[in-house]
Chain A
Amino acid sequence: MANLNDHMGRPIVAVTGIGVVTSLGVGKADNWAALTAGKSGIHPITRFPVDHLNTRISGMVDFLPSSSKGASLLTYELAETAAQEAVAEAGLNSGDFGGPLFLASPPVELDWSERFSLYNSDKHDIGAERLLRVARGLKELDVFETTQFGSIADRLADRFGTRGLPITLSTACASGATSIQLGVEAIRRGECDRALSIGADGSATAEALIRFSLLSALSTHNDIPEKASKPFSKDRDGFVLAEGSGALVLESLEAALARGATILGILRGCGEKADDFHRTRSKPDGSPAIAAVRAALADAGLSEDEIDYVNAHGTSTPENDKMEHLSLSTVFGERIGSMPISSNKSMIGHTLSAAGAVEAAFSLMTMRESVIPPTINYDNPDPAIVLDVVPNKKRNAEVGTVLSNSFGFGGQNTCLVMAREPV
């Protein structure tokens, strides 16, 4: 009989369902085939005109029915699609999940298409006054709901029959990891036997792109889109804005085994540490990211030597990759040059609020398939970053444990440690 509690006497948390959507496709099978083939999902933007934009490429999800219907509806569909795959794989009733929902999703705003349409439906007053006048005459709730931060989770709660008040969260680009951490903690506290953790982001609007662009965060290598995201390369020049979703069904190992579920992996540990240095930059000594990695290892009850592979945050910005290298080399010491560390973002771009969940899904698949997806576009290594990034070609390898990093604006650092087997 397996040990059901971890090194701190808490219930072990298993993963029994995984779902994913990225620009590479819907579902694990398509995504995994593309990812291990080193295929990029980055492509020219077609959703809106690119006049006046410095960045004209992205990893948008353009193939869903809601892809052109605004950030709120697309984020919902991304979340729903990934969650459906995960819940079905877990063998649970998809309308009566019976555990809490933790949703990482982007902050919502009234889409510009709605602003234009409301504004131009009236002629009285100007600016905000006119919008308010029109707003109070609306007869439907559709537009309203796209502006409520809790509405996507509310719809998902109806759809999947999750229990209680659903939590919608944002820790910027670490959000997906935080949604998993909240699920793990709820199970460890004994509040529930299972939780549905989802990270979804369909917010790649023109305004979002412009905002990141104004902060000089985005790659402007527009000419060959699939080459633009090049984590750890010398000529990396920013991340590629992308969309996607990842969903995990988390269950106490005890409950999962009791119902005969297939155990897809174990969520062994979570760690976090906030940075107080700057709104977008990390403390120069990397201490918060280092502390987050160490906290995740300690929570997992593993030493540095026991991590087989790192699923990097690896955004392809000059700052992130340099700081991530500094943090990892501080924690792992000399071993850092010889342990595999790859970035899924080289192929799917940065899925923002979804990234931590998408990359956790891929980390779990890496262990199950014994194949490490490569870091593509690694043609011009940064000499200051000496890492085994699994360059350009997948690698067959036994992977028993993974560290997955997520770092975000606002000093957010969250790390997850996953394992293939319970002990």
Chain B
Amino acid sequence: MSPHHVVISGIGLVSSLGEGPDAHWRKLAQPGLEPVLEAARFSPYTVHPLPEIDWNLQIAKRGDQRQMETWQRLGTYAAGMALDDAGIKGNDELCTTMDMVVAAGGGERDEAVDADILAASESRNDRDVLLNEKLTTELRPTLFLAQLSNLLAGNISIVHKVTGSSRTFMGEEGAGVAAVETAAARIRSGQSTHILVGGAFQTEHSDMLLGYELAGYLHRGPWKPVWQRQGAEGGGVVTGSGGAFLVLEQREHAISRGRKIYAELGPVVSGRAKRRQGELDAEIAALLRQAALPNGELLTISGASGAHAATAAEKSVFGANPAIAARGFSTLTGHMKEAQFPFAVALAALAVERKAAYPAFDAATEKPFNGVPRTVLATAIGYHQFEGLALVNAAD
């Protein structure tokens, strides 16, 4: 059985730069683009905040919007954009047969309730009883559903009627890598014809920062581009709110619908380096070999987080491969955790489709790329664990 080819036929993107593939292309194609930063709200941490979003555009019912917190709304919104872009939204037959793999973390806790409990804990020794007392009376019952990891997918089913199947992968950047890898494998093997895959991350919530900072991963002090944070105060990661969804489709299926194809998704490879044993550089190099890079200059959309060790490893492997012209998009969007890899693949597909490279996002570090990119590499090396990359090829 000859494997089916996988193409990208829809893209939905949201970041501090705006929303939609066109808006992202327009912004990112400008040399010297300044990032959108919010340095005060979570000081000493800087974040890339969400842009103004009219949720009604993708989530028609106010009742649905109310059932979600921002993370789920953001993902549902980006998923709707991808479905629209692929001409699938509102098409019952395509939606009910569409598979879905979502990369998700958890949703937002109620910060006020938590702060109240913590404050009370200073003067109480029976903290477990305190917890019962407060949580039973102060928690909003439906908030639980807004926090559950698989309820982003659940909301996409409810709002956009995608119901072929629904799976949620967890595990930071690795979840995004595995989601794309599994979705592609399902299409190649004929198990699926069209899949919605992606994720979202809403960083403007203290718990989402805490998830990094318990290991000291966040960059502090003045903002710097992603490749230039070694030695600066903090751990190097600047986060951003955003989301990225892709419609992956069997090539024949997309062609038979007469759809625009952004790009073909080539090999997707993933790994789990034993980082404490210093294996990360070797693992990234091995993944590059496994992906079988083409000859010549290679535009590379890097999901580097800025985390000191992981980003240094990626930079060093790229440095040893002079063909690679990296673009670390976290400089402009911040790190979007589970959405990081789908976002990288989306930007790679855009460059292939527009037949043009992005200018350097950090002119001091990134080298120019002068040709027409027919193959683009997308990477996500986890800030703490797991790594993956993919090649995105011109569709013709």
Q: Which chain A residues have a beta carbon within 8 Å of chain B's beta carbons?
A: 48-53, 105, 107-110, 112, 115-116, 119-120, 126-132, 135-136, 138, 141, 143-144, 147-151, 153-154, 157-158, 164-172, 178, 182, 185, 188-189, 191, 206-207, 210-215, 272-280, 288, 408-412
Contact = CB atoms under 8 A, between A and B. Distances in A.
Contacts of B211: 147-148
B122 to A, nearest CB: 6
Contact of B216 (A136, A172, A277, A410): A136
B109 A411 contact: no
A126 B151 contact: no
A89 B236 CA distance: 46
Interface string B132-174: 1101110101101101111101110110011111111111101
B250 to A, nearest CB: 15
A215 B137 CA distance: 13
Contact of A171 (B121, B150, B382): B150
A132 B170 contact: no
A21 to B, nearest CB: 21
B272 A165 contact: yes
Interface in B104-142: 104-106, 109, 111, 114-115, 118-119, 121-122, 126-129, 131-133, 135-137, 139, 141-142
A188 to B, nearest CB: 8
Contacts of B129: 49, 51-52
Given A48-B131, A107-B148, A136-B234, 19 more contacts: A52-B129, A109-B106, A109-B207, A127-B115, A132-B213, A138-B214, A148-B385, A149-B170, A149-B172, A165-B271, A170-B149, A172-B150, A172-B151, A212-B144, A279-B142, A410-B148, A410-B154, A410-B157, A411-B157
A158 to B, nearest CB: 7
A215 B174 contact: no
A149 B175 contact: yes
B178 A277 contact: no
Given A109-B106, A410-B166, A51 B133 contact: yes
A402 B164 CA distance: 24
Q: Which of A48, A138, A154, A280 has the most chain B CB atoms closer than 10 A to its own CB? A: A154
B354 interface: no
A89 to B, nearest CB: 25
Contacts of B215: 138, 141, 144
29 contacts: A49-B126, A51-B129, A51-B132, A52-B132, A52-B137, A119-B121, A119-B122, A127-B206, A131-B118, A136-B213, A141-B215, A148-B385, A164-B272, A165-B271, A168-B171, A169-B167, A170-B168, A189-B185, A210-B132, A215-B142, A215-B145, A273-B164, A274-B162, A274-B166, A277-B158, A410-B155, A410-B157, A411-B163, A412-B154
Contact of B175 (A51, A144, A168, A411): A168
B201 to A, nearest CB: 12
Interface of B: 45, 67, 100, 104-106, 109, 111, 114-115, 118-119, 121-122, 126-129, 131-133, 135-137, 139, 141-142, 144-145, 147-151, 153-155, 157-158, 161-172, 174-175, 177-178, 181-182, 185-186, 189, 191, 206-207, 209-211, 213-216, 218, 234, 270-272, 274, 382, 384-388
B214 A143 contact: yes
Contacts of A408: 150
A277 B159 CA distance: 9
Contacts of A276: 157-158, 161-163
B4 to A, nearest CB: 12
B396 to A, nearest CB: 28
B56 to A, nearest CB: 19
Contacts of A214: 136, 139, 141, 144
A189 B183 CA distance: 12
3 closest A-B pairs by beta carbon, nearest first, are A410-B154, A150-B171, A128-B206
Contacts of A128: 111, 114-115, 206-207, 210
A405 to B, nearest CB: 16
B148 to A, nearest CB: 6
Given A211-B144, A274-B164, A191 B185 contact: yes
A409 B171 contact: no
Contact of B148 (A129, A275, A409): A409
Given A52-B133, A126-B119, A165-B272, A279 B171 contact: no
Q: Which of B106, B215, B387 has the most CB of A within 10 A?
A: B215
A372 B114 CA distance: 46
B274 A150 contact: no
A149 B105 contact: yes
A92 to B, nearest CB: 19
Given A150-B386, A276-B161, A127 B118 contact: yes
Contact of B67 (A207, A213, A279): A279
